[in-house]
């Protein structure tokens, strides 16, 4: 089952160079081993726990614990497969759904059987209509032979940055806007239809489908004991062959970048986790293992597997200012930190990148950025605060230059980060 770089989820693509239809999928893996009894469902949950699988959508929460919690909830459960991928620098979920759709659908149906759900929802952004159509065809292909024990429904949701947040999915599936809800209750308590709801990233569910077939020992054959398995990463920036790759967890960050051909020019920093992520200086970061425990010591994390290599020639302040402007425009505008605080931080950062700021501007920016975290109805301000704070720290030399001499020549260069030209959505665009 191991392809290049220890691949598992993408093994079929490496073997054939194309996406797998249902016949090819079943020839390769056989039918999903659905649990038919409560004991069998418990064994599946235990296998996921023993495998050490964690969520691949960004939070890295233990998947087995989520399964067990939802299974123990009051009422019939619901499963939601999150394929929204609102992070502009990520392409892993889109790629996985294109190349191995039946692994994801296997995982959704297996998760439903494990928690006693009677339906599974697959949520995609409206911007990927062709993919949604292909997945509906795949669901129908599975329905005809009665492969899945529960119906799988494919939905197309508004594509805004916060619309991939799990409570946004619940709110939309319940007939509301695709904007985050205040918690508690969490979805595992009262989610879709006020029922216990399991929400997992589509990559997490694809891993679950393989664990169900091959067992926890097989899954732990890649990675390391405290960071098991493989993960999909989107590598971009100043790399020779950027793209989506599958890598064993725990590899040093420099080795991960080497999978994409290595740096195409000298690097100054790397962004881990995308627009809610953290900046790190390239020098020391390249030796750090790509694993939650190791990166946490540096104030970072794997997130959703986004790694952007920023060349040394680029202006990090300009890159960060563009991202913060985008995050301010894409907020749900439901509370003060998003309506007032985040736009103010974005404006201060823009002034630092392209204006004529004084030292008081930097003090005001640091103060405002520090006030964002922990004050919002969702975690949008938290992610923006982390991104801004690490940018100020890692690009401290640029800050001093801009304060002393004004914008550097690189501040007007073509951006490295893929920041969409996305204005703030009006109220109708959340439905």
- What is the model's pLDDT at position 379? 76
Yes or no: say if 315 and 406 are a contact pair by the CB < 8 Å rule: no
Q: Which two tokens stand for residue 333?
A: 């505008």
Task: Single out the residue of 360, 359, 325 nearest to residue 345, CA to CA.
Answer: 325
- What is the model's pLDDT at position 3? 62
Bridge partners of residue 307, in order along the sequence: 235, 272
CATH topology classification for 316-415: de novo design (two linked rop proteins) (1.20.1440)
Yes or no: say if 196 and 112 are a contact pair by the CB < 8 Å rule: no
Q: What is the CA radius of gyration of the chain?
A: 22
What stretches of 342-423 adopt beta strand conformation (E)?
Answer: none
What stretches of 38-172 adopt beta strand conformation (E)?
Answer: 77-82, 117-125, 152-157
Q: Which two tokens stand for residue 197?
A: 């709801």
What is the phi/psi pair of residue 415, to 5°? -65, 150
End-to-end Cα, the chain, rounded Å: 42
**What distance in Å separates the CA atoms of residue 233 and residue 274, rounded to the nearest whole number?**
11
> Along the 431 residues of the chain, how does pLDDT read in single tens digits?
456 777 899 998 988 988 899 999 999 999 999 999 999 999 999 999 999 999 999 888 999 999 999 999 999 999 999 999 999 999 999 999 999 999 999 999 999 999 999 999 999 999 999 999 999 999 999 999 999 999 999 999 999 999 999 999 999 999 999 999 888 889 999 999 999 999 999 999 999 999 999 999 999 999 999 999 999 999 999 999 999 999 999 999 999 999 999 999 999 999 999 999 999 999 889 999 999 999 999 999 999 999 999 999 999 999 999 999 999 999 888 887 788 889 999 999 999 999 987 777 788 888 888 778 776 667 788 889 999 999 999 999 999 999 999 999 999 999 999 999 877 777 778 88
Give 99's contacts (C-beta < 8 A, 6+ positions apart): 10, 12, 13, 18, 19, 20
Extents of the domains making up the chain: 4-223, 316-415
For the domain with range 4-223, which CATH number is right: 3.40.50.12500, 3.40.50.11540, 3.30.910.20, 3.40.50.970? Answer: 3.40.50.11540
Task: Single out the residue of 246, 156, 252 nearest to residue 207, CA to CA.
Answer: 246
Yes or no: say if 353 and 321 are a contact pair by the CB < 8 Å rule: yes
- What is the model's pLDDT at position 137? 97
- What is the model's pLDDT at position 212? 98
Q: Which two tokens stand for residue 244?
A: 């989506």
- What is the model's pLDDT at position 160? 92
187 half-sphere exposure, CB direction, 13 A CA radius: 23
**pTM, entire model:** 0.95
């Amino acid at each position: 089952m191991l392809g290049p770089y220890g691949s598992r989820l993408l093994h079929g693509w490496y073997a054939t160079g194309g996406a797998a239809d249902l016949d090819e999928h079943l020839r390769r893996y056989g039918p999903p081993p659905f649990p038919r009894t409560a004991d069998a469902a418990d064994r599946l949950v235990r296998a996921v726990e023993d495998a050490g699988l964690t969520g691949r959508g960004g939070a890295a929460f233990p998947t087995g614990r989520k399964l067990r919690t939802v299974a123990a909830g009051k009422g019939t459960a619901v499963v939601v497969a999150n394929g929204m991928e609102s992070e502009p620098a990520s392409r892993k979920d889109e790629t996985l759904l294109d190349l191995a759709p039946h692994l994801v659908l296997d995982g959704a149906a297996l998760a439903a059987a494990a928690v006693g759900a009677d339906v599974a929802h697959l949520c995609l952004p409206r911007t990927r209509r062709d993919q949604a159509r292909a997945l509906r065809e795949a669901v129908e292909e599975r329905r005809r032979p009665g492969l899945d024990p529960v119906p799988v429904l494919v939905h197309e949701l508004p594509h805004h940055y916060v619309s991939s947040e799990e409570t946004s999915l619940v709110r939309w599936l319940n007939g509301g806007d695709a904007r985050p809800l205040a918690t508690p209750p969490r979805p595992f308590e009262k989610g879709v239809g006020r029922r216990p709801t399991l929400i997992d990233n589509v990559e997490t569910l694809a891993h679950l489908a393989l664990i169900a077939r091959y067992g926890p020992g097989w899954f732990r054959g890649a990675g390391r004991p405290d960071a098991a398995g493989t993960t999909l990463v989107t590598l971009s920036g100043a790399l020779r062959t950027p793209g989506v790759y599958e890598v064993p967890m725990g590899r040093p960050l420099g080795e991960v970048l080497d999978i994409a051909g290595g740096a195409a020019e000298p690097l100054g920093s790397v962004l881990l986790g995308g627009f809610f992520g953290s900046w790190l200086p390239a020098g020391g970061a390249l030796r750090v293992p790509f694993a939650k425990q190791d990166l946490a010591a540096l104030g970072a994390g794997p997130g959703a597997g986004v790694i952007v290599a920023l060349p040394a020639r680029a202006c990090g302040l300009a890159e960060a200012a563009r991202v913060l402007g985008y995050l301010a425009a894409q907020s749900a505008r439901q509370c003060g930190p998003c309506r007032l605080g985040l736009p103010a931080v974005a404006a201060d950062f823009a002034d630092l990148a392209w204006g004529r700021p004084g030292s008081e501007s930097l003090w005001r920016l640091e103060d405002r950025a520090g006030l964002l975290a922990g004050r919002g109805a969702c975690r949008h301000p938290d992610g923006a605060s982390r991104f801004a704070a690490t940018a100020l720290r890692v690009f401290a030399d640029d800050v001093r230059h801009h304060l002393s001499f004004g914008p550097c020549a690189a501040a007007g260069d073509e951006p490295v980060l893929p920041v969409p030209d996305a204005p703030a959505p009006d109220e109708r665009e959340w439905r």
